[in-house]
Amino acid sequence: MKILGYFKLILLSIILMLWFNKYNLIVLIGYKSRYVFVHFFDIFSCLKISPTHIKKINFIFKNMITFITGNEHKVKEAENIFKDYDINLKHIDLGYTEPQGTLEEVAISGAKYACHELDCPVIVEDAGLFIKALNGFPGVYSHYVQDTIGNQGILKLLADSTDRYAEFRSVIGYCAPNSEPKTFLGKVSGEIAVEERGDLGFAFDPIFYVPGEGKTFGELTTDEKNQFSHRKNSLEKFIKWYSSKE
């Protein structure tokens, strides 16, 4: 029994790339003139693959961008947007330490780290809720604030406030080997509601009211929300730039 030659394996990998839009593990085992072909579909989503493995196979992928996230909601939203463009999107949950700073600084730091580790083009995303009357609080620390004082805390802070303007902001950080990272900002404007409404969505969604819709994010389905979300805006800005640079 012997492993099929390197050249033939590459050739077959490229052919299979035309059929599948996912990372695949292709194993060809030959015995005399007979070959057994084993194809593990989208194996990288099922297994924890080390950055070294990704590096080794990355050279066979063109127009492939790896989305660094552990959040399935973000992956689905991004896949929905990318499917209309000639860009292949992968996702990997590669943990990294975020610095204290702006959304842009967090996104750049993550993109640089992941690009260095994986040696391929990557995007990362960081988002936050910015409330005008609270000087941008909770901003880049939205996740921490949600886990500690939560929506009720935000409502208390704004109890006497007539200015209830707020923005969800999303920043995409992009980095490719041997180039400087770039960021793309997307926003959606709204108001902080006087009470929580709706049980769809998560985190600050039930208190983020969108006047144009007459509903909070908590009262909109994911599909409805994704029509105009901050993340859609930032991803589309990125895609527009990425497509024009080709």
Coil, strand or helix at 57: helix
Tell me how far apart the alpha carbons of residues 164 and 131 are, in angstroms, rounded to a whole number.
7
Instruction: Determine the interface stretch with a copy of itself among 31-39, 60-68, 94-102, 116-124 (rule: CB under 8 A).
Output: 94-102
User: What pairing do the DSSP bridges indicate for beta strands 182-192 and 208-210?
Assistant: antiparallel
**Would you call 119 a catalytic residue per the annotation?**
no
With CB under 8 A as the contact rule, the residue among 18, 48, 135, 180 that binds a copy of itself is: 135
196 makes contact with a copy of itself (CB under 8 A): no
x/- track of binding to a copy of itself for residues 157-186 (CB under 8 A)? x-x---------------------------
Options 1-9, 23-31, 33-41, 142-150: segment touching a copy of itself (CB under 8 A): 142-150
Smallest distance from a copy of itself to CB 135, Å: 4
Q: Closest CB to a copy of itself among 30 and 136?
A: 136
Confirm if 14 and 60 have CB atoms less than 8 A apart.
yes
Q: Of 115, 91, 22, which is closest to residue 61 (Cα–Cα)?
A: 22
Please name every residue paired with 77 in a beta bridge, in sequence order, or none if there are none.
Answer: none
Tokens of 23: 């990372």
If the CB atoms of residues 104 and 213 are measured against a copy of itself, the closer one turns out to be 104
> Could you give the C-alpha distances from 69 to 157, 172, 182, in angstroms and in order?
31, 12, 18
Q: Which is nearer to a copy of itself, 80 or 146 (CB)?
A: 146
**165-175/208-210 β-pairing:** unpaired
Dig out the tokens for 183 from the structure.
């960021």
Question: Rule CB under 8 A: is residue 145 a binding residue for a copy of itself?
Answer: yes
* Helix or strand run (H / E) with residue 88: strand 88-92
Write down the catalytic residue from 119, 126, 160, 199. Answer: 126
136 in contact with a copy of itself (CB under 8 A): yes
Distance between CA atoms of residues 225 and 153, nearest Å = 24
From the list 35, 144, 165, 241, which residue makes contact with a copy of itself (rule: CB under 8 A)? 144
Q: Which residues are catalytic, by number?
A: 126
Residues contributing to the site for a copy of itself (CB under 8 A): 97-101, 105-106, 109, 134-139, 141, 144-145, 147-149, 153, 156-157, 159
